[in-house]
Chain A
């Protein structure tokens, strides 16, 4: 188990390094000169050279990259002498737009993204999984058909479209919900809940649809297994047959999927946050991209990759405890 973990972590570090290198290459080599961007078009050539030297972009590509990586682990100093700016580890640099520390910017936005992700996850797990189980048990009934039709629509509707329709109907026309925003929970819990309800719903709808379909398929497959027949032949009631023997094999693959989906959302629900104008990491990302704010893009990409890769390891380890066949092989 320990060697397995070590191997996985080493592989993860390798993948992260590759993501970093690729991202760095695309944004620092292919993009416009950041010095010109920061200083503006009227800047003198001397001033531009000075900014370049401060940022270190006058260095060769690999030197720049290793300085960047070094900054993450050991911190780095921009410029020299009196103008030097210290950036303590883990240093992701400063935004070209606001001069704020990228790490701080991400840190400030995380609570909103986490709130959105957690709320949506609770919704989609509850609704998606129970709808899927119910559909499988009542396979072929009107309930099954209706639920699967909704689920099909759910995976086919773009969430920015649902967002606009819901906002138009619930906020503009019926006025039963406020415009989505990110108030503090402590000020007014009810207002907090109402403000987040629409983003949660929009984000959860697609995932719930997908999980409902997957749960249904898995559950139907499991119900056809021989061990279900054995359980019935033992004289177990349908509660035990479904709840104990059918549910666990059906839901184990869902756990894996959930881990990856949830981790992906911690890197920001990009579209949902952008459409509703919620200041999470996703909105930060899309703003940074539209303003070509390279250090911020670099930071959020690395962080998102880190979440997905860490989740991948956690899910695999979790899987070994959930599935005895894998557990006894790894241990």
Chain B
């Protein structure tokens, strides 16, 4: 595990020895064990792991959105400021403004009772104030920027009237409308078709180029991670088992679990290897 030592200006996000645990019926269950990493501006850090490996809990901990019955130790610094344990009032100001999040399932993540324009607008209005009408104009603009055609008309449509890919574009527009410094994307393409997935990844890369936003990209899909991120953390059972530059990890995996994950990717040139099961005993964490 690589220890991050701050040199020069503070990094955009610095997670230090973060531990997340839940009170359960029999004692406590720890879902994240002392993980550390940092994200710079304009950089994407990928976190890979299977479901239950603690990657989503890490992202919720950064946003301060963990359920009330959880407890956290360690440190999370956003632009040098400690935000772990900050007041709800203060966190609310940071959420949406400095750090934003895109979730896995865009349909259930949007409120079915309100228009998408209103839902983007309220995010903008919460931080920048002004009238709802002005915020709606910003929303239409944001929807246009994420590639929704006829955005002026479609701001008044409801989430169920969009396709899955379009909904995720709306989620991205919502997250980006206040130009946050940090964007956390939790499996943003998992629920989408492969072709749509590629479009969304391209859109995110393009937006990052324009804004310089630092990004944490969470996925179980190594192929996706190799495409988007410069730095990768491999998580298993709440621990970081390996981290390094994307190139290092993919060309020379050190950890047996990472090797197993890489082996599980089907390859056109090696059909036999593609069928080999991941049987290191580490994968099945139930």
| Residues in chain A within 8 A of chain B (CB atoms) | 225-227, 229-237, 240, 244-245, 248-249, 252, 323-325, 328
Contact = CB atoms under 8 A, between A and B. Distances in A.
B94 A227 contact: no
7 contacts: A226-B105, A229-B65, A230-B109, A235-B96, A240-B126, A325-B112, A328-B160
B276 interface: no
B111 interface: yes
Nearest to A247: B113
Given A234-B96, A235-B94, A323 B109 contact: no
B95 A324 contact: no
Contacts of A328: 158, 160-161
Given A235-B93, A235-B127, A229 B109 contact: yes
Interface in B71-106: 92-97, 100-101, 103, 105
A229 B103 contact: yes
Given A234-B123, A235-B127, A245 B111 contact: yes
Interface in B145-183: 158, 160-161, 171, 174
Contacts of A325: 112, 158, 160
A217 B94 CA distance: 32
B63 A226 contact: no
Given A226-B103, A324-B158, A248 B113 contact: yes
B110 interface: yes
B113 A249 contact: yes
B95 A234 contact: yes
Given A226-B108, A249-B112, A236 B160 contact: no
Of listed A235, A324, A325, A328, residue having the most chain B CB within 10 A: A235
Given A226-B109, A245-B111, A233 B100 contact: yes
A325 B94 CA distance: 32
Contacts of B115: 324
Contacts of A245: 111, 114
A233 B95 contact: yes
B126 A324 contact: no
Q: State the main secondary structure of chain A at its contact with B.
A: helix
A75 B281 CA distance: 85
B50 interface: no
A233 B101 contact: yes
Given A229-B103, A325-B158, A235 B126 contact: yes
Given A234-B174, A235-B94, A225 B108 contact: yes
B122 interface: yes
Nearest to B177: A234
Given A229-B65, A235-B123, A235-B126, A323 B96 contact: no
Nearest to B171: A230
A226 B68 CA distance: 16
Given A234-B174, A235-B92, A235-B123, A324 B109 contact: no
A240 B171 CA distance: 19
Interface string B56-68: 0000000101000
A230 B103 contact: yes
A125 B123 CA distance: 32
Contacts of B174: 230, 234
Nearest to B91: A235
Contacts of B103: 226, 229-230, 233
A248 B95 CA distance: 24
B95 A232 contact: yes
B69 to A, nearest CB: 10
Q: Which 3 A-B pairs have the closest CB atoms?
A: A235-B96, A235-B95, A234-B123
A233 B111 contact: no
Nearest to A324: B158
B167 to A, nearest CB: 12
B44 to A, nearest CB: 19
Contacts of B63: 233
Nearest to A249: B113
A323 B123 CA distance: 22
A230 B109 CA distance: 6
A244 B113 CA distance: 10
Given A234-B95, A324-B112, A324-B113, 9 more contacts: A226-B109, A233-B96, A234-B122, A235-B126, A236-B92, A244-B122, A245-B114, A325-B112, A325-B158
B108 A227 contact: yes
Interface in B122-138: 122-123, 126-127
Contacts of A231: 111
A245 B97 CA distance: 20
A108 B171 CA distance: 59
Contact of B122 (A229, A233, A236): A236
A323 B113 contact: yes
Contacts of B65: 229, 232-233
Nearest to B123: A234
Nearest to A329: B160
A240 B127 CA distance: 13
A225 B103 CA distance: 12
A227 B111 contact: yes
A26 B158 CA distance: 50
A252 to B, nearest CB: 8
A227 B112 CA distance: 9
A94 to B, nearest CB: 51
Contacts of B171: 230
Interface string B190-228: 000000000000000000000000000000000000000
Nearest to B110: A227
A324 B92 contact: no
A171 B13 CA distance: 70
